[in-house]
Structure 1
Amino acid sequence: MQVADSDAAVSLADAVSASVSYDQLRVSDGMLYWLETRPDAGGVTTLTRWRAGEGKLDASPAGFNVVNNVHAYGGGSFAIAGESLWCVGEGGLYEGRHGGELDLVSQASLGDLTLGDGELLAVRESDHGDELIAFPLTGARQLRTLVASRGFLSAPRPGPSSLAWCAWSERDMPWDACEVWVAPYSSHGHIAAPVKVAGGADESAIEPRWGPDGALYFMSDRSGWWNLFRWNGDKVEAVASIAGECAAEPWELGYASYDFLDDGRIVVAVQEGPRHRLVVIDTHGAVRQVNLPYTSIKPYLAALGTAVALIGSSPTAAPQIALVDLADDDPQVEVLARSEHAGLARVQVSTPTELRVRVTDGREVLALVYPPTGAPAAWRAPVIVRAHPGPTASCLLRLDWQAQFFTSRGFAVVDVDYLGSTGYGRAFRESLYGRWGLDDVDDCTAVANQILTAGQAIPGQVFIRGASAGGYTALHAVAQDGPFAAATAVSAIVDPDRWTKTVPRFQRAHAMRLRGGAGRVDAAAVQRPVLFIHGTADEVAVAEEVRELADQLEARGIPYELLLLSDIGHYVATSKRAGAALEAELAHYRAAIAAAAASRGGHTAASGS
């Protein structure tokens, strides 16, 4: 199959502008709010609001970037108090009116904003630890510390004269060991006599919130899966047993994987492998699945009466904000916002199939295979294997316009849920610790070899691509014999040991647990051309390590390209330079294909002389 642009190809501009990201969906006074990150607007994150009969409007001023960097990945960047809007942006905490200008009221680094008893609650991070703070909505504007820890804190959730929150140590990640605590709370006093409700060394208890019955609900993976539990002030009991992840791995603050409908039912987003589904738990604990057109649901559910707002997508629908009416057994779905623009409404897309491959230790690894757009059932093409970031993350069954950019140009794209991915239970998630750069590489290699054996991939035209932790996987994959002809490493980690010292405080425990496998990427072992794409402002994986590895490859004569994106952070795909990154990646694969073709031609000429 020829790898070239066609009339049906997804344009670079469309692939970038369609990659709008929705996050942090919330309800206040019957109005929905969410964040939109728009690459075609320079990657600025805007607060948007919607009310029935009024439609969608921007609630934050034009050009204002609603974002925080607490725990490196942010989250919980806004709160609504009547007509007042509280946002975290560059410089600190801002207050203002909907659609109007925002005034800086505090320079503190805050996240996970929540309304308390006449005050704003939030997480404040410093080099020395975390604090839960309170900030008066009116009157004297002075921060008050409620809880302090040398480790990490999250999810301050006020209830009936009480406050719940999460805590974990500096030696852990919240998906490894996290605790839920409760203490008496009012706006006039400090926190005293806290009680641990759940969590510990072998349990991740997350996402506490108070139910309409006055009980405290939370997610715990004590069964091997994150499931919903309830504490009535005396004992903890399971709400429903589900063989799936009822919560997302808490990379960001402010996740809401469940919410309470007005009629007493609870709505929950459940992940099983790369798929999500929505379920409703009735007052007796019975679980019913909701039939929806979505296979991917973000961990931001927001109940509105007997309806729930969600961010959903599928292989044929890019992320949407949808309002799902759950009043009866036939849910009605109203789409409030969609990320793809009108120019892509009729574009043909590649839809994936699931591929399950047995690896050397008898495990099964799952991959999503996107064939070239419009290809026949017996397709044969160049293949891009993608290792997702994290590595505690997963590939998702949803429309990815940047993948479509390549499938519409004759490539197949394959996403691999390698060992350590989320969506397969706690044991699978933890199994990559100490094996990073080994088992993840083996899984990606096994998938590539299976596609080659099936005759779908063209030998010499199989590539591997990864971002962040996936970039480390991609680099190690071309530092050994294998099926990959070239690698693309975006925002890549290079040296796990060094990363433990340069990574932001939040992820230091993750780096410590992952390391011990393949070690640093050794330039002397790299055997295939590499494209590095890295932001100069990346604070998660610093660009200096990539520069050093590129210099070492140059000294050895290994082909490489280095695209440094000025003032861009860790998230290249949603940045204002996303287009340049896509162009460079496409050119990289085409150059590798052309070099292989030229080499074959040279060998043929030599053998005939």
Structure 2
Amino acid sequence: MSLGDRIAEVSVNDAVRASVSYDQPRTGGDGLYWLEARPDVGGGTTVTRWRSGEGKRDVSPKGFDVASGVHAYGGGSFAVAEGTLWCVGRDGLYRSRRHGDELELVSHGSFGDLTIGDGELLAVRESEQGDELVAVSLTGAPQVRTLALSRGFLGAPRPSPDWLAWTAWSERDMPWDACEVWVASYPPRGSVESAVRLAGGPGESAVEPRWGPDGALYFVSDRNGWWNLYRWNGLKVEAVAPIAGECAAEPWELGYASYGFLDDGRIVVAVQEGPRHRLVIIEPGGAVRPVDLPYTSLKPYLAVQGTTVALIGSSPTAAPQVALIDLADADPQVEVLATSEHAGLDGARVSVPTELRVPVANGREVVALVYPPTSAAADWRAPVIVRAHPGPTASCLLRLDWQAQFFTSRGFAVVDVDYLGSTGYGRVFRESLYGRWGLDDVDDCAAVAVHLLSTGWAVPGQVFIRGASAGGYTALHAVAQDGPFAAVTAVSAIVDPDRWAETVPRFQRAHAMRLRGGAGPVCAADVQRPVLLIHGTADEVAVVEDVRELANELTSLGMVPELLLLPHVGHFVASSRQAGAALEAELAHYRSVMADAANDRRGLHSG
């Protein structure tokens, strides 16, 4: 992106069009592939191929949404073998023998983590009864064979000659709480035999197994408090390179690849440290060397071929882009293959965040990213939108977010808060919100807001809080008490943790059980500030009935909320075709509150 001096409001259409997202880069024999989701054309997801000298083109049929519903959040939704595209739609597993051809339904069901083995496709298939590891022949009439069964969850089927590794966790756990790595004898097109648990269990999350070129099995475990890389050589498990950072992302989806093997014996790893990501290389002797890149945020998908790694990177001045990084020399070469920028935003000035650390109780610090108004001077003072990230097992992302720029270009400051329970700070910090949800997260967001008011950055009476999903629950509780916030926007919000534990898809039920016990349900009678509720009617993660009920209760108490229901929209409003309507409603909500406050002040003066 070219940054210039043009200061203009970022339009709703531009903010949505620039929110194209990329996922799951994978190498294939005939190019590099990735997923591309385009909110401006309805939010559908397409498989795209890039070839040197040819550029990129779509290879899945137009109008087909490549989307996996496995474990509610999907992942690993396509693979390519010998020119055949295998991908997942909402109703099953598909294949296309020639790129762009109509897809053939192979099997009904919920599939994910598609992996190419020796002559077969391996995958996870989910039902309400549990998970299966399955194998499908790559040639002839495809037959689905079951390799392993679990009442809980399975993931990451990773084959090697004569062996198969995978992950497993129980229905009582989330994979970031207790996840196991298993290994078993497995001749291709045979059966799994003599399975052994290699790592993980209560108090340890072991994820992302992958066979190395040396024949060892590698995986990431948080047994030392951080997700770090380990290696099993057939006899023992040993640490590869201790790092005070997270060498894996919290596994909301299947198919993550946070590390990969270069063909010269080195390992490339994406590491998260607070809100920042970096790329490092682990030398054969264990030395860790940082890679100098123009990115501060990396998605947990690395695709390695030779000494080149494909990744999805971004920074405060560059929206997510697909890039090839040549690591053959000490000075890495970066080639950008795709970017979500477009002509409407070329040359626009953006707000670049600063990192803020606010002391709170028990000697902790809360990390926040502060995006000042786009045209602000060094001593700016502005209305502020504090954002509680979703998850809550997730984190702020230090990357260009055009939906944040939509507000900063209109004179607001936007502040993202890594409250207690966020990822990027180790296992203890991540687990500390369990049983405290709606309490410590709210306190952390409020502490940041109070700090901004005390320093004079925030305008009194014009500090707002917004959150999506679990962040919506945090935001609603923040206005269910006296505090610094003048109004709330809750998108796809969770309202009642107990009821959510009953209605949420089975993957996340353990999450709901562990989080609850803190503030309890949002009580309409406690809400003290104006409320905007935005929710998709097709949301399967946080059902719309709970939000409707809260809106009705608020109305009966005389505190009429604003309610925007988005027909046919699921849990992820920001990537839907209705994202623009949601942004406009949120902006109007804040301006209305500010106008009402100004009118009240004028009334007091005139009285």
Please give the alpha-carbon distance, in whole angstroms, between the structure 2 residues aligned to 1:516 and 1:205.
27
Q: How far 1:345 sits from its partner (Å)?
A: 1.8
Cα deviations by residue, 1:208-228 (Å, 9 ceiling, x for unpaired): 010001100000000100000
Cα deviations by residue, 1:368-408 (Å, 9 ceiling, x for unpaired): 00000020000000000000000000001100000000000
The residue that corresponds to 1:329 in the other structure is 330
- C-alpha contact 1:181 1:197 (8 A) present in aligned 2: yes
Q: How far 1:601 sits from its partner (Å)?
A: 1.1
The answer to whether structure 1 residue 85 and structure 2 residue 88 are counterparts is no
The residue that corresponds to 1:65 in the other structure is 65
- C-alpha contact 2:42 2:577 (8 A) present in aligned 1: yes
Cα deviations by residue, 1:132-171 (Å, 9 ceiling, x for unpaired): 0111112342211101001000000001210000000000
Please give the alpha-carbon distance, in whole angstroms, between the structure 1 residues aligned to 2:189 and 2:13.
54
The residue that corresponds to 1:160 in the other structure is 161
Mark the CA change 1:213 to 1:402 in structure 2 (over 3 Å): closer, same or farther.
same
Q: How far 1:30 sits from its partner (Å)?
A: 5.2
The residue that corresponds to 1:41 in the other structure is 41
- C-alpha contact 2:161 2:188 (8 A) present in aligned 1: no
Instruction: Give matches, 1:312-461, under 5 Å.
Output: 312-461=313-462
The residue that corresponds to 1:3 in the other structure is none
The residue that corresponds to 1:260 in the other structure is 261
Q: How far 1:358 sits from its partner (Å)?
A: 0.8
Q: How far 1:558 sits from its partner (Å)?
A: 1.3
Cα deviations by residue, 1:428-462 (Å, 9 ceiling, x for unpaired): 00000000000000000000000000001000000
Report the secondary structure of 1:494's partner residue. Answer: coil
What amino acid sits opposite 1:504 in the alignment? P
- C-alpha contact 1:231 1:237 (8 A) present in aligned 2: yes
What amino acid sits opposite 2:344 in the alignment? G
Q: How far 1:28 sits from its partner (Å)?
A: 1.1
Cα deviations by residue, 1:544-569 (Å, 9 ceiling, x for unpaired): 00000000000111131110000000
The residue that corresponds to 2:131 in the other structure is 130
The residue that corresponds to 2:3 in the other structure is none
Report the secondary structure of 2:490's partner residue. Answer: strand
Please give the alpha-carbon distance, in whole angstroms, between the structure 2 residues aligned to 1:394 and 1:159.
34
What amino acid sits opposite 1:253 in the alignment? L
Please give the alpha-carbon distance, in whole angstroms, between the structure 1 residues aligned to 2:328 and 2:287.
16
What amino acid sits opposite 1:302 in the alignment? A
Q: How far 1:123 sits from its partner (Å)?
A: 0.4
Please give the alpha-carbon distance, in whole angstroms, between the structure 2 residues aligned to 1:243 and 1:7.
40
What amino acid sits opposite 1:308 in the alignment? V
Structure 2 residue runs of 5 or longer lacking an equivalent are 1-5
Cα deviations by residue, 1:564-608 (Å, 9 ceiling, x for unpaired): 0000000000001000000000000000000110111111222xx
Q: How far 1:186 sits from its partner (Å)?
A: 2.3
Q: How far 1:7 sits from its partner (Å)?
A: 6.3
The residue that corresponds to 2:25 in the other structure is 25
TM-score (norm 2): 0.98
What amino acid sits opposite 1:49 in the alignment? R
Please give the alpha-carbon distance, in whole angstroms, between the structure 1 residues aligned to 2:106 and 2:182.
29
Cα deviations by residue, 1:272-310 (Å, 9 ceiling, x for unpaired): 000000000111111100000000000000112111110
- C-alpha contact 2:7 2:375 (8 A) present in aligned 1: no
Instruction: Give matches, 1:77-116, under 5 Å.
Output: 77-96=77-96, 97-116=98-117
Q: How far 1:99 sits from its partner (Å)?
A: 2.0
What amino acid sits opposite 1:309 in the alignment? A
Report the secondary structure of 1:361's partner residue. Answer: helix
Report the secondary structure of 2:446's partner residue. Answer: helix
Please give the alpha-carbon distance, in whole angstroms, between the structure 2 residues aligned to 1:407 and 1:100.
44
The residue that corresponds to 1:494 in the other structure is 495
Q: How far 1:85 sits from its partner (Å)?
A: 0.5
What amino acid sits opposite 1:575 in the alignment? S
More deviation, 400-409/301-310: 301-310
Cα deviations by residue, 1:257-277 (Å, 9 ceiling, x for unpaired): 000111111000000000000
Please give the alpha-carbon distance, in whole angstroms, between the structure 2 residues aligned to 1:172 and 1:590.
43
Cα deviations by residue, 1:309-356 (Å, 9 ceiling, x for unpaired): 100000000001010110011001000000111221200000000110
Report the secondary structure of 1:604's partner residue. Answer: helix
Q: How far 1:189 sits from its partner (Å)?
A: 2.3
What amino acid sits opposite 1:241 in the alignment? P
The residue that corresponds to 2:543 in the other structure is 542
- C-alpha contact 2:551 2:560 (8 A) present in aligned 1: no
- C-alpha contact 1:110 1:123 (8 A) present in aligned 2: yes
Instruction: Give matches, 1:164-175, under 5 Å.
Output: 164-175=165-176
Report the secondary structure of 2:391's partner residue. Answer: coil
Instruction: Give matches, 1:471-510, under 5 Å.
Output: 471-510=472-511
The residue that corresponds to 2:278 in the other structure is 277
Please give the alpha-carbon distance, in whole angstroms, between the structure 2 residues aligned to 1:64 and 1:139.
24
- C-alpha contact 2:360 2:366 (8 A) present in aligned 1: yes
What amino acid sits opposite 2:146 in the alignment? T
Report the secondary structure of 1:323's partner residue. Answer: strand
TM-score (norm 1): 0.98
Report the secondary structure of 1:524's partner residue. Answer: helix
What amino acid sits opposite 1:499 in the alignment? W
Please give the alpha-carbon distance, in whole angstroms, between the structure 2 residues aligned to 1:53 and 1:213.
33
The residue that corresponds to 1:590 in the other structure is 591
- C-alpha contact 1:160 1:214 (8 A) present in aligned 2: no
The residue that corresponds to 1:519 in the other structure is 520
Please give the alpha-carbon distance, in whole angstroms, between the structure 2 residues aligned to 1:304 and 1:326.
11
What amino acid sits opposite 1:85 in the alignment? L
What amino acid sits opposite 1:70 in the alignment? V
Report the secondary structure of 1:74's partner residue. Answer: coil
Please give the alpha-carbon distance, in whole angstroms, between the structure 1 residues aligned to 2:300 and 2:583.
28
| 4+ residue runs over 4 A deviation | none
Report the secondary structure of 2:509's partner residue. Answer: helix
What amino acid sits opposite 1:429 in the alignment? R
Instruction: Give matches, 1:190-201, under 5 Å.
Output: 190-201=191-202
- C-alpha contact 1:117 1:186 (8 A) present in aligned 2: no
Please give the alpha-carbon distance, in whole angstroms, between the structure 2 residues aligned to 1:176 and 1:439.
20
Please give the alpha-carbon distance, in whole angstroms, between the structure 2 residues aligned to 1:188 and 1:347.
55
Report the secondary structure of 2:526's partner residue. Answer: coil
Please give the alpha-carbon distance, in whole angstroms, between the structure 1 residues aligned to 2:30 and 2:231.
27
Please give the alpha-carbon distance, in whole angstroms, between the structure 1 residues aligned to 2:117 and 2:332.
33
- C-alpha contact 1:129 1:151 (8 A) present in aligned 2: yes
Cα deviations by residue, 1:15-48 (Å, 9 ceiling, x for unpaired): 0000011101111115111001100110000100
The residue that corresponds to 1:565 in the other structure is 566
- C-alpha contact 2:270 2:278 (8 A) present in aligned 1: yes
Please give the alpha-carbon distance, in whole angstroms, between the structure 2 residues aligned to 1:538 and 1:544.
10
Please give the alpha-carbon distance, in whole angstroms, between the structure 2 residues aligned to 1:188 and 1:515.
44
- C-alpha contact 2:92 2:111 (8 A) present in aligned 1: yes
- C-alpha contact 1:79 1:85 (8 A) present in aligned 2: yes
- C-alpha contact 1:528 1:559 (8 A) present in aligned 2: no
Q: How far 1:103 sits from its partner (Å)?
A: 1.3
Please give the alpha-carbon distance, in whole angstroms, between the structure 2 residues aligned to 1:485 and 1:389.
21
- C-alpha contact 2:375 2:411 (8 A) present in aligned 1: no
Please give the alpha-carbon distance, in whole angstroms, between the structure 1 residues aligned to 2:304 and 2:312.
12
Report the secondary structure of 1:194's partner residue. Answer: strand
Please give the alpha-carbon distance, in whole angstroms, between the structure 2 residues aligned to 1:576 and 1:246.
34
Q: How far 1:94 sits from its partner (Å)?
A: 1.1
Cα deviations by residue, 1:470-500 (Å, 9 ceiling, x for unpaired): 0000000000000000000000000001111
Aligned-residue Cα RMSD (Å) equals 0.9
What amino acid sits opposite 2:274 in the alignment? G
What amino acid sits opposite 2:72 in the alignment? A
- C-alpha contact 2:7 2:409 (8 A) present in aligned 1: no
- C-alpha contact 2:278 2:295 (8 A) present in aligned 1: yes
Please give the alpha-carbon distance, in whole angstroms, between the structure 2 residues aligned to 1:40 and 1:16.
6
Please give the alpha-carbon distance, in whole angstroms, between the structure 1 residues aligned to 2:123 and 2:40.
31
Please give the alpha-carbon distance, in whole angstroms, between the structure 2 residues aligned to 1:505 and 1:480.
32
What amino acid sits opposite 2:71 in the alignment? H
Report the secondary structure of 2:552's partner residue. Answer: helix
Please give the alpha-carbon distance, in whole angstroms, between the structure 2 residues aligned to 1:188 and 1:43.
37
Aligned residue pair count: 601
